[in-house]
Amino acid sequence: MTVELLLGVALGGALLTYVLGKISPGLRNAFALLNALALVVMISLLYGQSFERALPLGFLGLELSVRMNMLSWFFAVTILGIGLLSVIYSLVYMRNKERLDYYYATLLFINASMLGTVVAGDLLSFFVFWEMMSWSTYLLISLRGGSKAIFAGIKYIVMSLIGSLTMLVAIVSLYVSFDTLSITELAGHVQSTTMGQALFVLVLFSVTFVIINALWPFHTWLPDAHAEAVSPFSAILSAVLVRKGLYGLYLLMYAMLGFSMLGKLAWGALSYSNVLAWIGAITIVFAAFRALMQNDSKRILAWSTVGQGGYMVLGVSVATNLGMAGGTFHILNHCIYIALLFFVAGAIEYRTGGIRDLDSLGGLIKRMPVAFVGGLVGICGLIGVPLTNGFVSKWLIYKSLVLEGRPFLAFAAFLGTWGTILYGYKFIHNIFLGQLPDRFRDVKGIPFTMAVPIVILTVLIFLFGVLPGIPLSVVDQVGTYLGFESLNVSIWGIPSETGTLNVVNLLAALAVAGFIVWLVLRAIGRSVSVDQDDTYAAGAAIPSGKYHYTVGFYSPLYRIVGPYVRDFVDAFFLKIAGWTGSVCGVTRKIYTGFVGNYVMYIILFLAALIFVQIAWSPW
Amino acid sequence: MHVVWLFLYPIVALVVGVLFLGLSRKVMARMHWRYGPPILQPVIDIIRLFSQRSASHGRLFDLGIVLSLAGSLIIVLFLPFGDVAPLSGSGGLLVILYMMLLGPLGIALSAGESANPNASIGISRKLMLAIGYELPLLLVLLAFMSRYNTISIVEVVRLQRATGWSIASFPLVVSGVAYLLILPAILAIRPFELVQAPQEISSGPMVEYGGSYLALAKVQHALSMFIGISLSVNLLFGGASHPLIFLLKMLVILMLGLFVNAAFPRLRIEQAIRYLWRWPSLIGLVGLVLAVVIGR
Amino acid sequence: MDRNQLVKWLKAPAKMGHKYSLHAVYFCTGCGIIEVPPSITARWDAERFGVLPTATPRQANLFLITGYVSVKTLRAIIRTYEQMPEPKYTVGFGSCPINGGMYWDSYNTIKHLDRYIPIDGWIAGCMPRPEAIFVAVTHLWTLIDKDMADGYKRYRKHYAAYRANQEKVLRGLDWPPLFPVEEQ
C-alpha cells in the first residue's frame, strides 16, 4: 500500500464521481461513498509506516516526493474520516438539491488535495496541493448561491490568495538559498542559515498558516465562510481544512526549523513562540465573546472554531511534550465535536426548513432526541466537561501552561472556556429546550443516514473522554516524531509527579453517585408527567407554544461587553477592500476602452509638454 | 480506611451542608430579631418534599437534577477535608474547577426542559453571574498555582502547613482579599442572590421544581455551599489537620458570609457583573502579577 | 407542639413533615394580604412554625387565599391550586372567600369559594389579625394529625362536580381536566 496509490484513488475518485454523475445519480452517490470508505481503509492500513519516496515526474528539474510518517498519518486520518462521515451525511441532506455532480466531485477533490498537502514530501508539491485546496474550497463555499454566499467565498479566496503568495515568496527564498525543496533536506540546511533569513521565512510562512487557521487578526473570512457553506461541508471546513494551518506550523516550527533555531529567534521576552502564543490567547478570548453575541446556530459554531484554534496554538507554542500532546490531541477532539455540531445544526436546518436563527427555534428535544443528544455531547466536548474528549486535551494545555509559568496565557484559556459555556448553553437551550412552538409540532426526527455520523461521533467523544489513552498513544507518537520526549501514557490518562489525571476514577465516581441519586429519586420520589403548557405563570393560562425566553438571552452581558468586542479587524479589512474598489473604479474611468479617449490623453500630454517647454524651456 | 472515607465523606458533607443551611436560617432570624425555625428545619422540609407527588416535565428534567447532585457529590471527594482527600490524586484544582460546572449544568438542563421562561431567565442570570465571578476567581486560583507551582490542592494545603496560612503570607494576601470579595457570589448569597430572586422571577431555575426534585435541588444547594466554603478554607486558611478543626474554620467563614447576606440588598445582574469585574478583578490581577514576580 | 418527639417522627415521617413544613402560596387577591407581611417578618415570625412563603405553587403545600375572589381571579386560583403537588391544604382568609362578605351582592365576585376548590379551613373576620393565621396553622396541625385535612382527596373524588361548577361560572376553561372526567 503506497501513498501514491492513495493519492491516485483520491484524485481519480473525485474525477470519476463527476463522470458517473452524468450517467446516474444513484451510481454517483454509491461511488462517492465507496471511494471515501476505501480511502479510510487504505489510510488505516498505512498506520505506523514511515517512508519518503520520489515521484516519477519532476518539475523544472525539481524532484517531487511524497512521504508518510506519524504526523502525516494523524492529519490524514482526520481528513479522510471526517470526509467519509460528511459524504454519508450528504446523501440525504443534499438530496433534491441542484448541481450535485459538481458538489460531490468538489467535496472529494478538496479531500484529495488536503490529503496531498499532508503527504507532500517537498515544498513545491505542498504548495501545489495547497493551491488546489484553496480554490476548490472557494468553489464549494459559494455553492448555495446568493449574495451572502458569494461574498463569503470572495472574502475567503482573497485572504487565502494573499496567504499563498507570501508562502510562494518564502518557498522561492528557500530554493534560491539551498537549491532544494525537499522538507527533510531543508531541515538540515536551515540550521546553517542566517537569523535574518530564518525570521523572514518563518514570518512569511506563518502568515499563510495563521490565515488558514483563522487566528486573530486574520480570522475574518471564517465566520462568513462557515455559516454560508452547506452543513456537511461546513463540518469539513471547520474540522479539518482550517487545521491545515496547524499542520503547516508543525512542519515549519518543529519538522523544519527545530528547537535550536526557534530558541535562537528571540530578543528577550519577544520570541516567536511567545508572539504566537499571545495571538492564540487573544483569539480565544475575542472569539468567545464574539460567539456570545451571535444569533445564528452555524455562526456560533464558526466563532467557536476560531477560538478553539487558539487553544491548539497555545499548546503548540508552549513546546513541552505535555503542551504539544494537548495541542495535537485538541486538533483531533475539535475535529470530532465540531463536525458533530455542524451535523446537528444541519439536521435542524434540514428538518425545520432552513431555520438557523436561534431566536425562532425551541423545544425540539421532544421531536429530535438524537439531534439533542448529539448536540449536548458535542457542546460538552467543546466546553470540555469531564468525561468528554475535550476535557483531556484542555487539561493538558492548562497544566502545561501553569507549570511552564505562563499564568496569563492560562487565564485567557480559562476565560475562553467560560465564554464557551455561555454560548454553548445558549445553543442547546434556544434550539432544544423550552417550549415547542406550534409550527414545529409535526417536525420529524433525523433521517437514518444523517443520524449515523451523529451517533458515531457522539460515541467517539465519550470513548476518547473515558479512555483517552487510545488516541493519546497516537498523539504521543506524533510528539516523538517531532522530537519531543515521550509521555508516559496509560489507557485511562496521564500519570505524572505534578498532578495526575485519571478519568476512569472520575467516571466511576460519577456513575456510582449518579446511580445512588437516581435510585433515591425513583424509590422515594413520586412524580406525574405534565404537559409543556402546564407551567407556572402566576396562575394565568400561558399562550401555548409561544412562551420561550430566547431573544437577548444574555442581553445584560452584551450591554457591558458589547462596545469592547466589536470586530475592528473585519471592519478595517472591509474598509481596505472598499478603498481598493474605489481606486479601481477611478482607474476604470480613465481606461474607458474607447480609442478616441486614449488619443485625447496622448494629445493632452503632448500639449502639456509643449506648454511646459514654451513656458520655462527646461529642455 | 480509604474506601470507607470514599463513601463516608460525601455523607458527612451532605449532613454538614444541610446543617449549615439550617444554622444560617436560624442565625439570619436572630439577626432580624426573630425567634427563627429549629436548626433541623431543612431536614423537615426535605422529608416533607420527598412525600409529595411532584410534576415532571420529561426525562431530561429528571436526569439533569440527578447529574447535578451526583456532580456535586463527587467534587467533594476532590477537596481535602482535614487529612481526608479520597480522590485528590485524580487531577487537582483544574478538575475541581471543571467539576464545579456539573452542578449548574445539570440544573440548567433540567430547568431548561421545564419550559418555563422564569427558569430560563434564572439560568441566563446564573451563567452571566458565573462568568462574572469566574474572571477574578481564575486570577486568584492562577496566583495560587503559580506561587506554589502545583495544580494539586493537596499540595497547596501541605505547603501552607509548612509556610503558614496563605492569607497571612505576603503576595497571596492580595489574592486572598480578592477571593473573599467574590465569595458571596460563589455562595450565591445576597447581594448576589439574583439567580433565585423569588420576588422577581419566582425562584428562577427552581420555579418548576416540587416534591422530590426540589428536595434534591435543596441538597445540591447545601452541597455547593459546603464546596464553596471548603475550597476557601483549603486555599486561604491552611486547611486543617483534623476534620473537626476544619469544620470550625468553615463555620467561621459561614458566619462572615451570613453577616454580608443579612446586611446587603440584592444587586441587579449588571451591577453584579460590573462590581465583580472591577475591584475584585483588579485586586486579583495585582495579586497574580505579584505572585508571578515574587514567586520567580 | 410535638415537633421534638422523635417517636412520632419515626412512626409517621410524612405526616410530621407536612405539619412542620407548611410552605405557603399567599394568593394576594384583596385587602387580606396586608396582614401577611407582619406575620412572616420580625413582628410575628411565622418561620418559627415552619411556615414560609414560596414564590411558586410547585414548591408549596399550603394555599392561603387572602381576600375577595373575583371571577377573573378564580381562574388563576384554580390553575394555581391544580399546579400544587399533593398533599396540599387550602385556607380561606377573611370573610369574603367564605360567603362573599361585603361583596355578597357584587355581580363579579365569587361568594362561596369552596364550590370551586376544596377548602380545609376558614379564618373568619374582616380583617382577621395575624395571630389568627397562627391559630389556623395550629388548627391545621390537628386536622393533619387526624387525617381530616383531606381537601385534595375530595377534589380528586368529586372532580367532575368541581369542574362543572368552575366551567359554569367561568364559561369554559382553557386547560384540560386534571383528572379524567367520566361522561355521565
Q: What is the DSSP string of A259-311?
A: HHHHHHSEETTEEHHHHHHHHHHHHHHHHHHHHHT--BHHHHHHHHHHHHHHH
Could you say which residues from 486 to 525 on chain A have a Cβ atom under 8 Å away from some Cβ of chain B? 498-502, 505-506, 509-510, 513-514, 516-518, 520-521, 524-525
Closest by CA position to A472, among listed A457, A458, A459, A491: A491
CA distance B265 to chain A (A): 19
- A540 contacts C74 by C-beta, under 8 angstroms: no
Residue A68 C-alpha cell reads as 508518510
Cβ–Cβ under 8 Å, residues B54 and B207: no
In terms of average pLDDT, the best of A237-241, B17-21, C63-67 is B17-21
Nearest 5°: the CA angle A616, A617, A618 is 95
Rounded Cα distance, A573 and A158, in Å: 11
Query: What gap in Å lies between CA A447 and CA A426, rounded to an integer?
Result: 25
Does pLDDT of A546 surpass 80?
Answer: no
Q: How would you write chain C as a 3-class SS string?
A: CCCCCHHHHHHCHHHHHHHHCCEEEEECCCHHHHHHHHHHCCCCCHHHHCCEECCCHHHCCEEEEECCEEHHHHHHHHHHHHHCCECCEEEEECHHHHHCHHHCCCCCEECCHHHCCCCCEEECCCCCCHHHHHHHHHHHHHHHHCCCCCHHHHHHHCHHHHHHHHHHHHCCCCCCCCCCCCCC
- CA–CA gap between residue B132 and residue B279 (Å, rounded): 12
Strand partners, C66: C93
Overall number of domains in chain B: 1
pLDDT at position A1 is 55
pLDDT confidence of residue A210: 87
Q: Do C76 and A540 touch (CB under 8 A)?
A: yes
CB pair distance less than 8 Å for C59 and B199: no
What does the pLDDT read at residue B91?
61
**Contact between B71 and B10 (Cβ < 8 Å):** no
- B77 contacts on A by Cβ (under 8 Å): 509
Give the 3-state secondary structure of residue A502: strand
Q: How far is B97 from chain A (nearest CA, A)?
A: 10
Question: Smallest Cα–Cα separation from A350: which of A139, A91, A103?
Answer: A91
- Cβ distance B65 to A521 less than 8 Å, yes or no, reads yes
Mean pLDDT across chain A: 84
- DSSP assignment letter at A486: P
pLDDT at A494: 64
Q: Which domain holds residue B92?
A: 2-295
Give the tens place of pLDDT for each residue, A176-225.
888 777 887 877 777 777 777 888 888 888 888 888 888 888 888 888 88
Pairwise CB contact (< 8 Å): A533 & C175: yes
Spatial neighbors of A144 by CB under 8 A, at least 6 apart, are A228, A229, A230
C-alpha A337/C-alpha A461 separation (Å) is 7
Q: Is A89 helix (H, G, I), strand (E, B) or coil?
A: helix
For CA atoms A412, A414, A415, A419, give the dihedral sign: positive
Assign A380 to helix, strand or coil.
helix
| Banded pLDDT at A458 (limits 50, 70, 90) | very high
Q: Closest Cα to residue A454, out of A387, A354, A390, A376?
A: A376
d(CA C162, CA A12): 77
Counting Cα atoms < 13 Å in the Cβ hemisphere of C176 gives 8
Instruction: Say how far apart CA B108 and CA B102 lie, in whole Å.
Output: 10
**Cα(C2)–Cα(C5) distance, integer angstroms:** 6
Residue in B90, B115, B143 closest to A435 by CB:
B115
Does B113 contact A501 at a Cβ distance shorter than 8 Å?
Answer: no
Q: Does C37 touch chain B (CB under 8 A)?
A: no
Residue C35 pLDDT: 83
- Which residues, in sequence order, are CB contacts of A517 under 8 Å at separation 6+? B66, B69, B70, B73, B216
C28–B contact, CB cutoff 8 A = no
Q: How many CB atoms lie within 10 A of CB A447?
A: 16
What is the Cβ-side half-sphere exposure of residue C89, based on CA atoms within 13 angstroms? Answer: 25
Assess contact for B74 and B87: CB atoms under 8 A: yes
Report whether B108 contacts A379 (CB < 8 A): no
Average pLDDT over residues A50-57: 77
- The predicted pLDDT at position A493 comes to 64
Interchain proximity A536–C83, CB inside 8 Å: yes
On the question of pLDDT at B295 being above 80, the answer is: no
pTM (predicted TM-score):
0.89
Q: Which residue has the cell 444541519?
A: A346
Q: Which domains does chain C have, with CATH numbers?
A: 12-152 (3.40.50.12280)
**C-beta separation of A243 from A335 below 8 A:** yes
Q: How confident is the model at residue C160 (pLDDT cuts 50, 70, 90)?
A: confident
Omega of the bond leading into C127 within 30 degrees of 0 (cis): yes
Please report the pLDDT score of residue B283 as a whole number: 92
Q: Which of B26, B124, B123 is nearest to B68 (CA)?
A: B123
Give pLDDT tens digits for B178-226.
998 998 988 888 888 888 888 888 888 888 888 888 888 889 989 988 9
Name the grid cell of B42: 431543612
Neighbours of chain A (3+ CB pairs under 8 A): B, C
CB contact (8 A) between residue B53 and residue C13: no
| Identity of the residue in C13, C50, C86 whose CB atom sits nearest the CB atom of B53 | C86
Kindly state the cell numbers that stand for A26: 444513484
Q: How far is CA B252 from the centre of its chain?
A: 15
The three three-digit cell numbers of residue C171, written as one number: 364559561
List the single range of A124-133, A395-404, B252-261 with lowest mean pLDDT: A395-404
Question: Among the residues of A120-146, which ranges form H helices?
Answer: 123-141
* Average pLDDT of span A280-300: 88
The mean pLDDT value for A298-311 works out to 89
pLDDT given at position A369: 87
Q: Looking at A21-30, A608-617, B24-33, B157-166, which range is the least confident one?
A: B157-166
Say how far apart CA A114 and CA A81 lie, in whole Å.
Answer: 12
pLDDT of residue B95: 80
Look at the alpha carbons of B84, B87, B90, B95 in this order and tell me if their dihedral is positive or negative: negative
Q: What is the mean pLDDT of chain C?
A: 85
If contacts are CB pairs under 8 Å, which of residues 145-184 in chain B contact chain C? none
A102-140 burial, b at 16+ Cβ within 10 Å, e below that, comes to: ebbbbbbbbbbbbbbbbbbbbbbbbbbbbbbbbebbbbb
User: How many Å apart are CA A323 and CA A60, to the nearest integer?
Assistant: 41
Please say if the pLDDT value at position A127 is more than 80. yes
C-alpha atoms less than 13 angstroms from C-alpha of A520 in its C-beta half-sphere: 20
Of C21, C45, C83, the CB nearest to B44: C21
| β-strand partners of C92 | C65, C122
Cell 490524586 belongs to residue: B89
For the segment A112-121, the average pLDDT, to the nearest whole number, is 88
Q: Please name every residue paired with B56 in a beta bridge, in sequence order, or none if there are none.
A: A529
The predicted pLDDT at position A497 comes to 46
Structural contact between residues B56 and A530, judged by C-beta atoms closer than 8 angstroms: yes
Which pLDDT score is estimated for C70?
A: 87
Of B7, B17, B40, give the one whose Cα is nearest residue B218.
Answer: B17
CB-neighbour burial class of residue B11 (10 A; exposed 0-12, middle 13-18, buried 19+):
exposed
Residue A503 near residue A465 (C-beta atoms within 8 A): yes
| Degrees to nearest 5, angle at CA C99 with C95 and C102 | 60
Give the pLDDT confidence of B99-142 residue by residue, as tens digits.
Answer: 888 888 888 889 888 888 888 889 999 889 888 898 898 888 88
Q: What phi and psi values does residue A527 have, to the nearest 5 degrees?
A: -145, 155
What percentage of chain B reaches a pLDDT higher than 90? 6
Instruction: Note whether A539 contacts C: Cβ–Cβ < 8 A.
Output: yes
Query: How far is it, in rounded angstroms, from Cα C143 to Cα C145?
Result: 5
d(CA B206, CA A220): 41
Which of C96, C86, C98, C91 lies closest to C155 in space, CA to CA? C86
Predicted confidence at residue A498, as pLDDT, reads 46
Q: Which residue has the cell 478538575?
A: B95
| B166-170 own/partner pairs: CB under 8 Å, 24+ apart | B166/B235, B166/B236, B166/B238, B167/B236, B167/B237, B170/B290, B170/B294
Tally of helices (H runs) and strands (E runs) in chain B: 12, 1
Q: Average pLDDT for residues C102-126, to the nearest whole number?
A: 86
Q: What is the ipTM of this complex?
A: 0.90
For chain B, give percent helix, strand, coil, nearest 5: 75, 0, 20
Indicate if the pLDDT at residue A373 is higher than 70: yes
Give yes or no for residue A123 having a pLDDT over 60.
Answer: yes
In angstroms, what separates the C-alpha of A324 from chain C's closest C-alpha?
Answer: 51
* pLDDT tens-digit map of A485-519: 777 776 666 655 445 566 777 777 788 888 888 88
C-beta contacts of B278-282 below 8 A and 24+ residues apart: B279/B181, B280/B133, B280/B136, B280/B178, B280/B181, B280/B182, B281/B135, B281/B136, B281/B139, B281/B178
Is the model more confident about A599 or about A543?
Answer: A599
